[in-house]
Amino acid sequence: MSFLQDPSFFSMGMWSIGAGAVGVAALALLLANTDMFLATPQKAALEYLEDIDLKTMEKDAVTFKAKALWEKNGAVIMAVRRPGCFLCREEAADLSSLKPRLDELGVPLYAVVKEHIKNEVKDFQPYFKGEIFLDEKKKFYGPQERKMVFMGFVRLGVWQNFFRAWKGGFSGNLDGEGFILGGVFVMGPGKQGILLEHREKEFGDKVNLTSVLEAARKIRPQTSASEKQ
């Protein structure tokens, strides 16, 4: 048992424990930056989206079915993760840059939020050039809600997104729920269906704007019986 009295024995033991801890941390960091532990998004059915209850944002709110947004002319809809988030504001501004071309196509641009607190929606409006509605039951974030919490802050992609938005001059706050991931939909009118469904996989995972335009160009507006005559 004389080895127990040897200081080098304990030094070697502590070094081994430290090296093992560093190895475990490095492995955890590596795995966190893969998609292995990300929740797989469940595709939304048209019937599911059509039946969602939305509310207008004014004081005397009106409740209506979501299908009214795209029933005639289709629509591009952003499900906002958190209006005060500077990454969400960046994506809202990007989508709003498409507004002139969407207007040419006759396709409206909308957003839904999951809560209405303080001045969050009002402060978000300068970044988003479309109407905003409230989805209290968070249905646009389903059918299976996906959350990103602490893992989001160890993902390299998230930090790259942070830097990109910060470099672009965007800022925000920490008000409201921001862990339930959002997305972007391009909806065709009537039963044409879902032409694009982008589900945010991590904070700041923006939709591809070219894909949004390509999907919007596929929209075939509904014509009424009187218009056909």
**52, 85, 92, 111: the active-site residue:** 85
Burial 192-216 (b: 16+ CB within 10 A, else e): bebbbbbbbbbbbbbbeeeebbebb
pTM, full prediction = 0.82
pLDDT for 21 equals: 46
Q: What integer is the mean pLDDT of 6-29?
A: 46
Active site residue 85: yes
Q: Is the pLDDT of residue 225 over 50?
A: no
Asked which of 13-22, 61-70, 126-135 is least confident by mean pLDDT, the reply is: 13-22
Asked which of 14-23, 39-48, 100-109, 136-145 is least confident by mean pLDDT, the reply is: 14-23
Q: How many CB atoms lie within 10 A of CB 65?
A: 13
CB-based contacts of 207, cutoff 8 Å, min separation 6: 91, 95, 183, 184, 196, 198
Give the chain's mean pLDDT.
85
What are the strands, taking DSSP E only, across 43-94?
A: 53-55, 63-65, 75-79
Q: How confident is the model at residue 79 (pLDDT cuts 50, 70, 90)?
A: very high
Q: What integer is the mean pLDDT of 31-58?
A: 79
pLDDT tens-digit series, residues 145-200: 888 777 667 788 888 999 999 999 999 999 999 999 999 999 999 999 999 999 99
**44, 66, 75, 88: the active-site residue:** 88
Active site residue 88: yes
Q: How confident is the model at residue 17 (pLDDT cuts 50, 70, 90)?
A: low
Please give the residue that has the higher pLDDT: either 202 or 229: 202
pLDDT for 38 equals: 57
Helix 86-96 / helix 209-217 crossing angle, nearest 10 deg: 40
pLDDT for 131 equals: 97
Q: Is the pLDDT of residue 14 over 70?
A: no
pLDDT tens-digit series, residues 82-133: 999 999 999 999 999 999 999 999 999 999 999 999 899 999 999 999 999 9
pLDDT for 213 equals: 98
pLDDT for 149 equals: 75
Q: Is the pLDDT of residue 1 over 70?
A: no
Kindly state the percentage of the chain with pLDDT values over 70.
Answer: 79
